[in-house]
Structures are given as structure tokens and as C-alpha cells.
Structure 1
Amino acid sequence: MRSLPARRTVTALASALALAAAAASPAAASPRTVQLVNLGDSYSAAFGTGGIRPVEGVPGCLQGTGRDHVDKLDSHPRVEVTLDAACAGYETWQVRDLLDDGTVTDALEEADVVTLTMGGNDIGWSEIIQACSAPFEAVQGPATCNARLGEAPARIDEAAGSAARTVAAIEEASDARIVVLGYPRLFDERQDTPLLSAERAAELNDWADVLNAELAAAVTEEGAVFVDVTDRFRGHGVGSEDPWIFFDPTVPGNPNNLHPTERGYLSGYFPQLLGQVARAR
């Protein structure tokens, strides 16, 4: 599995020294450090924040190089990210398969919090958006988009069921608080943009709401906590005056496209997640 970056090793060392000092001086005792394991897809892997790097020990696993909600949590004096194995492109079953690795199960056994996003890749979200984009529809017409949207209910149902099985598998390996973070509405639907018509943007945002709702119902039934970030991102979709979602129209295939920017992660995801970590303490 992954060798943690130097900054995380330093954080762990600093936490250990702080705890040792507290043990030596009872009067200086402080709350314990929360151990956090991060799993999931590209929305847990900092895509959208800048460059892209491979994760050591996990073939084909990629993460962003910029700051996100997990990175900021790791800089907190009472939080230690002991394992960050989120991988862009992962579906729910691939997250579940990570639990076959001893390094992952060892980290989960000691974890206080497990955080992840999952489900978007199961439904082929990027393919749906491409089929419904204005450039595609200008050439191919609306049939492909309509067909993809017609398949969405069944795909979402399957994704939610698989997400529930992943949560159940994590629960078997850990007593941690499992926090499943939802997806933001990606688009501003108040006007047409070069990427999407306002009508299609509204339809896609509605399906994002359905995905979040079904994921929430499925994972909470298994004992996880679902955190909705819709309100945090409201007004900051692609096409807005202050977007928190990265999109480069000159490079449609940019893998960072349609992921939160650093501002999105730090202002959208981080405040919601911090509250859940505080509860684990």
C-alpha cells in the first residue's frame, strides 16, 4: 500500500511528541489524536486541485497534488491521516476490494474515522455529462442524452446498493465512524453556457440530488453518516460567477474537469467533515 508523504510522517511525529509531553505532565494533558483513514473516488483524492500523482503501492491509483479537505484535516493538531488510499475513477466495488489488503485493514482496525465519496463512477456520471453537453448535442442531437438519463434510475439504484455493501465491509473491519460525503451540484442552471444548456444543467443537477438521496438512504441504513454538501456549493457551479468546480473548456478531456477546486474542497467539504471528526473525539 501507499507510503505516506513526508508531511504526513512529520504530522504523525509531532502528534506523538505532543502526546508524550502530555503523559509526562498531567496538567498539560490534551484531547487525544483522531486517527483517520481516507478512501473513495476522485472527490476524495483531490482531483481538481492541480497536478496528478500516482499512489505508491496501489497500481493505477491517482490523486491530485493540491490541498483538499483531507489534507487540511491532516494539518489539524488533533487529527492524523494514517492512510490515504482514495483513487480517482474507483467504483464502489473497487473501494471494497481495497479491504483485501492487509495494510488497509490494519489502518481501519485502528481508525476513529473513515471518510469517503463513492457512487459517481458506478453510474457513469462523466459519460452522462458528455452525452448531454451542448457540443455533443449540437452534432448528435438529444437522443443519446435522453437515453443515458433514462438509464439513470437503475444505475443509481445499483450504485446505492453497492455503496451499502462497501460500508458493511468497512464496518466489519473497523469500529470507526464512517462518513460518506455526497456530491455537489456541478452546474449553474440560470443560463446557457458553452458546456450545457440551462435546461440540461437543471436536469443533471436534479439527478445529482437523486444520487445523493439514494446513497444517503443506503449507507445510513448500514450505520454510516451521510454528509450532504449541496448547500455549501450552492451558487458555485460551472458557469457561475464564482465557480468552485474546475472546468477548462479548452481541454475537454482534462481529468481535473468537473471536480472541486481547492476552494471547493476547503470551503465546501472541509467544514462539513470537520464537524464529523469532532464528534469522533
Structure 2
Amino acid sequence: MRALPARRTASTLAAALALAGVGASPAAASPRTVDVVNLGDSYSAAFGTGGLQEVEGLPGCYQGTGEDHIDKLASRPRVDVALDAACAGFTTTQVRGIVSVPLVADALAEAELVTLTMGGNDIHWGDFIRACSAPAEAVAGPVACDVMLAQAPRLIAAAAASAAATVDAIDEETDGRVVVLGYPHLLDERQDSALVSAERAAQLNAWTDELNAALAARVEAEGAVFVDVTDRFRGHGVGSEDPWILVDPGSSHNLHPTEQGYLSGYYPGLMSQVARAR
């Protein structure tokens, strides 16, 4: 597990003053520490940043080793990332499955903010991009891609319903604010690229929007907050001049945000929720 800062007790001074009969004014009181638990799939697990490490206490749960939005959040004052248990490759069902694991449940019981991404693995988004890629269509034609795209509505609806069930399971373990972060557009649709044509990029990005919309509707109905990150990533998809999405033939982290994507795309959206959690 990535090294995280020790728990801070911002309320210790206030408690001591109270016992001594000395009142601290609201202006002088420090904002309290927010306890955070991070769950979810590879977009919450620093995939795209390089390296690979297993989360201690959660066999089969792997994360990237580079810096992402959770690492930057953990470096903030008065923020304690008590547990980072996002797992690359996890579906909504698998995320739901670890919520009751004692390591996770204990952290959730104390959490004021729970953050996660989920849903992309339920619909096997990577299979869509492979079938619709320019190299694949050059060999097999457009049929495979069209067949995949026709399945999208059913798969998205099922993923969103399962995401809602996962939020409900998290709510059983915590009184904290649950924040579900959405997915960025992975592809630049302004021009053809080596990976995909502009036309296919636009179609795939449109289905990403449909997935985000379905996730937002279902998790918000369960009381969670949904944060859309597509505007923050706009202009930085694969094929753009400044991509924040990794495409490297030798990497297993392909089609995930780079460090820049996590820090400039996901982090601002996540920080918008920290003050609200306080």
C-alpha cells in the first residue's frame, strides 16, 4: 500500500483548552481533520502512473506506484487517507465484496469521505476500444465495433444498477459522504489518430457520457455525490497534442490517466468535496 501520512488529531488542543476551562474562539479553532477511505477500480488505483504493488491485507488488490489524486490528497494538511483500497480490474460487484472485509469496514466506520470510481470494468470498456480501433477495423471491418456498440445500453444499465447496490453497501458501513468520480473521454475526437478514427472516437466518447449519466442517476438516488471529470480532461484524450491518457505498446496501464491526468483532472474534482465533508 502506498505510504500515507499518520493520523492527525486536530481536536486535541481544543479538548485540552476545554478541560482547562479556556474557550477557543471560532476564528482561532483549526478546521478538523477529514478521514478519507478510497475504494474502486483502476481509475482510483493510480493505474497509468507505472509500477505495480499489492495492497497490504487485501490479496489480489493491485495499484500503480506513481502519484495520483489520492496521494496528493493525502499530502494535504488536515486530511487523513486512512485506507487506500482501490483495486485495479475490480467490477462494482468486487468493490462491493470488500466493503465488509474487516480492514475496510473498520476504516469505513471512521470515514467522513469515501471516494471511488466504478462501472467501467462491468462493461469491459477496453474491449470496445479494441474492437473499434483503427488497426482492428482495417483487418476485420466495422462489424465487430458496431456489434459492441449495440450492446452498450444494456451493459451500462446493468453497471449503473450494480453501482447503486455498491453505494448502498458502503452506506451500511459508514456515515461518511460517498463520492463517485466519473470517467474521462479517453479519445480525442477532433482528428483521426493511429489508435482510432475521429468518427469512432466520437461514438465511444458519447457512450462514456451515457455511462457517466447512468452512474450519476443511480448513485445519487442512493445519496452519493457524483463528480463529472470530462470537462477537466477535455482536449487531453489519446491523439491530442497533450494527452493525459496513457497509450504505450509495452505497458499494462494503457487507457488510464497519466500522473498529469490524475493530478490535473481527478484531483480538483475530488478536492471540491473535501470542504463539504468537513
Q: Normalised by the size of structure 1, how large is the TM-score?
A: 0.92
Q: Which moved more, 1:141-150 or 1:85-94?
A: 141-150
Say whether the 8 Å CA contact 2:156–2:214 is kept in structure 1.
yes
Match status 1:12 vs 2:6:
yes
1:112-157, CA deviations, whole angstroms, 9 ceiling, x for partnerless residues? 0000000000001011111111111111111111111111100000
For 1:21-60, what aligned pairs fall within 5 Å after superposition? Answer: 21=13, 23-24=15-16, 26=24, 29-60=29-60
Q: Kindly tell me the number of residue pairs found equivalent between the two proteins.
A: 270
- Secondary structure (helix, strand or coil) at the match of 1:259 reads coil
Could you tell me which residue of structure 2 aligns to residue 105 of structure 1?
105
How far apart, in 2, do the equivalents of 1:255 and 1:118 lie?
19
- Report the counterpart of residue 151 of structure 2 in structure 1: 151
Q: Over residues 197-232 of structure 1, what are the superposed CA-to-partner deviations in whole Å (9 max), with x where a residue is unaligned?
A: 111111100000000000000000000000000100
Classify the secondary structure of the residue corresponding to 1:235: coil
Runs of 4+ off more than 2 Å: 18-29
CA contact (8 A) 2:57 2:103 kept: no
Indicate the SS of the match to 1:238. coil
CA distance in 2, matches of 1:110, 1:21: 20
Query: Could you tell me whether the CA contact under 8 Å between 1:188 and 1:235 is conserved in 2?
Result: yes
Aligned to 1:114: 114
> 1:1-281 residue pairs with structure 2 within 5 A?
4-5=1-2, 7-8=3-4, 11-13=5-7, 15-16=8-9, 19-21=11-13, 23-24=15-16, 26=24, 29-248=29-248, 250-251=249-250, 254-281=251-278
- Normalising by structure 2, report the TM-score: 0.93
Deviations 1:242-280 (A, max 9, x none): 1111111x33xx221111111111111111110101101
CA drift at 1:22: 5.2
Q: Which has the higher helix share?
A: 1
Q: Name the CA distance, whole Å, in 1 between partners of 2:42 and 2:88.
A: 4
Contact 1:23 1:29 in 2 (8 A): no
| Alpha-carbon distance, 1:31 to partner | 1.2
Q: Which runs of 5+ in 1 are unaligned?
A: none
AA partner of residue 154 (structure 1): R
- RMSD between aligned residues: 1.4
Displacement of 1:107:
0.8
Matched residues in 2 for 1:24 and 1:245: separation?
49
Q: Which amino acid aligns with 1:12?
A: A
* Partner amino acid, structure 2, of 1:114: V
Q: Distance in 1 between matches of 2:30 and 2:59?
A: 39
Letter paired with 1:170: I
Q: 1: distance between equivalents of 2:15 and 2:47?
A: 39
Checking the alignment, whether the CA contact within 8 Å between 1:244 and 1:260 is kept in structure 2 is yes
2:113 corresponds to which letter in structure 1?
V
Distance 1:172 1:206 in 2: 34
Gaps in structure 2 of 5+ consecutive residues: 18-23
Tell me, in whole angstroms, the C-alpha distance in 2 between the residues paired with 1:106 and 1:199: 47
Q: Distance in 1 between matches of 2:136 and 2:149?
A: 15
Distance in 2, matches of 1:172 and 1:259, equals 30
Q: Distance in 1 between matches of 2:130 and 2:180?
A: 26
Tell me how far apart the structure 1 counterparts of residues 175 and 12 of structure 2 sit (CA, whole Å).
Answer: 25
Deviates more, 1:73-82 or 1:53-62: 53-62
Tell me the distance in 1 between the aligned counterparts of 2:164 and 2:252: 27
Percent identity for Structure 1 against Structure 2: 66
- Looking at structure 1, the residues matched to 67 and 13 of structure 2 have their Cα atoms a distance apart, in angstroms, of 30
Please give the alpha-carbon distance, in whole angstroms, between the structure 1 residues aligned to 2:216 and 2:178: 12
For residues 23 and 244 of structure 1, the distance between their equivalents in structure 2, rounded to whole angstroms, comes to: 45
